[in-house]
Every structure is written in structure tokens, then in C-alpha cells.
Amino acid sequence: MNQIIVIKIGTSSLTVPDTGSLALSTIATLVETLTNLRQQGYQVILVSSGAVGVGCGRLGISKRPQTLHQKQAIAAVGQGRLIRIYDDLFNNLGQPIAQILLTRHDFKERSSYVNANNTLQALLDLGVIPVVNENDTVATDELKFGDNDTLSALVASLVGADWLFLLTDVDKLYSADPRLVPSATPIDLVASDELSNLDISVGGSGTSWGTGGMVTKITAARIATGAGVTTVITNGKKPSNIIKILAGRAIGTRFEPQPRPENARKRWIANGLVSKGKIYLDDGALKAISEQGKSLLSAGIIAVEGDFYSADAVDLYSQDNLKIARGIVNYSSNELQLIKGKKSHNINDILGYEGAETVIHRDNLVIIN
């Protein structure tokens, strides 16, 4: 099975910071590198920001648009130019590409999640490099990924990628922003059990069109490594470093992955769904869920937060407020307020009708390490 590599490149690498004009040499080197990877047998997906940045440059706008509609309009102008530039460059090397525009909604519904995965897999099997971006033109607030770091991690989880490269305008992650704190120390490796309590100072590069910053890259690393994807932050001005990193060179910041979730459905539950609430567990339920592979029963629930319905995704927390797992509930929040702490055989009497045996079945539950 060919390894799948997802590469995300941010606005700060694709455009010249002060003018918004295209960093053509970087884009051309990226295109050469990805084509080289394809020829080596890797399956490659490019997640490219830049629609807003390129659109601003095309329209002579020097400040990032403030309103959603302005951003959507400018992104529509920029996306057309961006994909044209990619297609012209990749075409020169005989490498076909495809444009894939996604919104957060495409991941929330199981059917559209499976459809997106099937389409991407079909493109990869055809030897095509999908070029993915958020569909800014229709992505209203409740449907937004917010940034392409998150989008790229969700795509890597969706397709079961082996690698995610986050290309940005610094060499790696540091203990603080190296532009502001020259004494900041570089971070070369983050073990899987260190990521949840990584303590660094973060912020964006100030590119007025980007939205990510290191916060979103660390969030992306959490999502991707949780799905079993090795994640690397490295410099977008040196795309050929990707080949060196795949060959074993220690370049950039590498985030070690967790064990891969057993199947695509579990990856969807962990990363495709948006959690609608919180359920707090007692120690007995915590042990049953995290160590004994059991389903969640009402007796182990000590508190419920949020308004949700049966079939929604909710997050499971320990009593000391640590997120333990995510799952699809068989009861609404109102029902759980009535049956929390109660034995399963009392549920029917309490609710007045026959309910499910479990609050969350084991098959619909993913442990978040």
C-alpha cells in the first residue's frame, strides 16, 4: 500500500508578506517536490491556503478583509487564480491535479464524510494530486474549519494518511515566537504523550491574510497524531526538505503519532464530528472505558453539560476534568439528566419507555490519548 502524504502550505509561504504577490519560486519548488514524491510512489494531497491572500493581491487590497462576505468574495477571486497557477505548473511536469473545496459540514455527516474519503481515494488511485482548500465562498461561520492547519489534519485523518507536513514561514516550533524572542529554543521532537501538555508561547506571523499561527498548528498536530499520522512542522520556503525528512533527516519539528484508530469510523468519530456536550464519569466508569474496553452505562455518569440529542457526539471527561474519549450517545442530554448515576435496569421506569442498554456503545466510542 503506497504511503499517503498530506502537505499543507500557508499563506505566509505562498505570498510575499508586504505585497501579497505570489512567491513563485516557492510554489514552483513545491510543485517539483510533490511531483517527485508522486514519481517515487507516494500518494500526495496538497492543502493550500492563499485564496484570500492571492485574491487581495489580484484586487490590489492591502488589508485583510474584515467582513465575512468581503472575505468570501475575495477568496472566490483568489481561488480561481491559485488553482490555475498550480495546474499550469504541475501540467508542465505532466502531473494532473484536482480541485477539492470542503466545508466543516462535509465532515460532520457520516455520509458526506465517507463520500469525501471515497472521492479522494479515487483521485489518489488515478495518480492525481488533489489540491484542497476550505470552500471559503460558502463557509459561513458555523460551517468553517477556521484555518487550513485544522483542515489539513482532518483530511489526513479522513484518508488515513501516514504523514502530515505543515509548511510555514519558520523552520520549526520554538519555545516562543522566534521573531519576538530571539532566545527561544527550538523544539525538534514532541513525543505523543507530551503533546497534551506542551507549554509554549504562540502567535501568528502577522501575514494579514493568514489565520493559523502556531496555536492552530499544534491543534492540527493533536488531531493528526491522534489519528496515527506522523506530523512535521517545517519551512515552506524549503519544500524539498520533505524528501529529506521522509529519508530520515531530523528537520523541522516532528510530532510522534498515537496508535492508529482501528478503523475509518473511529477516525470519523474522533475527528469528523463536532462535540455537542460533555459527560463526566466516576472512577469506575473511567476504568471500564479506558482500561476494560467497555460501553458507557448510566450508573457511571456523575454530571452532564450541554444540550444534545441521541446520535450526537459528546466528549467524556474524568472527575479532574481530563478529556478521556469521544462517543455517539444513545440518549439526549435531558434524558441523561434523569438517568445519570442510575442502574441500567431502572432506566425504563425512570423515563417511562424502553431506552437503549448503553449510553454510548463501545463501537461508537474512541479513546482520546
Ligand X SMILES: Nc1ncnc2c1ncn2[C@@H]1O[C@H](COP(=O)(O)OP(=O)(O)O)[C@@H](O)[C@H]1O
- From the list 4, 5, 6, 11, which residue makes contact with ligand VHF (rule: CB under 6 A)? 11
Binding site for ligand X (CB under 6 A): 10-13, 168-170, 173-174, 176-179, 200-205, 207, 210, 212-214
Q: Is residue 8 a known part of a binding site?
A: yes
Cβ 121 to ligand X shortest distance, Å: 27
Question: Which does residue 169 bind out of ligand X, ligand VHF, none, counting CB within 5 to 8 angstroms by kind?
Answer: ligand X
Cβ 149 to ligand X shortest distance, Å: 6
Sheet of 365-367, strand order: 301-305, 278-281, 313-317, 323-328, 365-367
Question: Which does residue 203 bind out of ligand X, ligand VHF, none, counting CB within 5 to 8 angstroms by kind?
Answer: ligand X
**230-233 contacts at long range (C-beta below 8 A, 24 or more positions apart):** 230/162, 230/163, 230/164, 230/254, 230/255, 230/256, 230/257, 231/153, 231/156, 231/163, 231/164, 231/165, 231/166, 231/255, 231/257, 232/163, 232/164, 232/165, 232/166, 233/166, 233/168, 233/172, 233/173
Q: Is residue 57 a known part of a binding site?
A: no
Q: Scanning the structure block, which residue is given the C-alpha cell 504541475?
A: 90
Site for ligand VHF in 247-286 (CB under 6 A): none
Residue 33: CB atoms within 10 Å? 18
- Tell me which residue of 342, 335, 337, 338 sits closest to 285, measured CA to CA: 342
User: Measured between alpha carbons, how far is 165 from 178 in angstroms, rounded to an integer?
Assistant: 20
Site for ligand VHF in 194-213 (CB under 6 A): 209-212
User: Measured between alpha carbons, how far is 160 from 247 in angstroms, rounded to an integer?
Assistant: 21
Is residue 22 near ligand VHF by the rule CB under 6 A?
no
| 99 DSSP β-pair partners | 131
Question: Which does residue 330 bind out of ligand VHF, ligand X, none, counting CB within 5 to 8 angstroms by kind?
Answer: none
Cβ 147 to ligand VHF shortest distance, Å: 4
The tally of CA atoms less than 13 A away on the side-chain side of residue 298 is: 25
Which of these ranges, 10-18, 116-124, 284-292, 327-335, lies near ligand VHF under the rule CB under 6 A? Answer: 10-18
Cβ 106 to ligand VHF shortest distance, Å: 14
- From the list 4, 52, 102, 269, which residue makes contact with ligand VHF (rule: CB under 6 A)? 52
Is residue 236 near ligand VHF by the rule CB under 6 A?
no
Q: Is residue 152 a known part of a binding site?
A: no
Question: Which does residue 273 bind out of ligand X, ligand VHF, none, counting CB within 5 to 8 angstroms by kind?
Answer: none
| Cβ 165 vs Cβ 6: under 8 Å | yes
Is residue 51 near ligand VHF by the rule CB under 6 A?
yes
Cβ 202 to ligand X shortest distance, Å: 4
The cell numbers describing 116, all together, are 469525501
Q: Is residue 33 a known part of a binding site?
A: no
- Dihedral sign from CA coordinates of 243, 248, 249, 251: positive
- Fill in the per-residue mask, 120 to 149: x = in contact with ligand VHF (CB under 6 A), - = not in contact: -------------xx-x----------xx-
Q: Is residue 29 a known part of a binding site?
A: no
| Cβ 163 vs Cβ 6: under 8 Å | yes
Cβ 127 to ligand VHF shortest distance, Å: 25
Cβ 19 to ligand VHF shortest distance, Å: 16
User: Measured between alpha carbons, how far is 231 from 323 in angstroms, rounded to an integer?
Assistant: 22
Q: Is residue 215 a known part of a binding site?
A: yes
Question: Which does residue 214 bind out of ligand VHF, ligand X, none, counting CB within 5 to 8 angstroms by kind?
Answer: ligand X
**Cα angle at 119 between 116 and 124, to 5 degrees?**
125
Annotate 178-226 with three-state secondary structure: CCCCCCCCEECEECCCCHHHCCCCCCCCCCCCCCCHHHHHHHHHHHHHH
Binding residues for ATP: 8, 168-169, 211-217
Site residues for ligand VHF per CB under 6 A: 10-12, 49-53, 75, 133-134, 136, 147-148, 209-212
Q: Binding site residues, as ranges? A: 8, 49, 136, 148, 168-169, 211-217
Which residues participate in the annotated binding site for substrate? 49, 136, 148
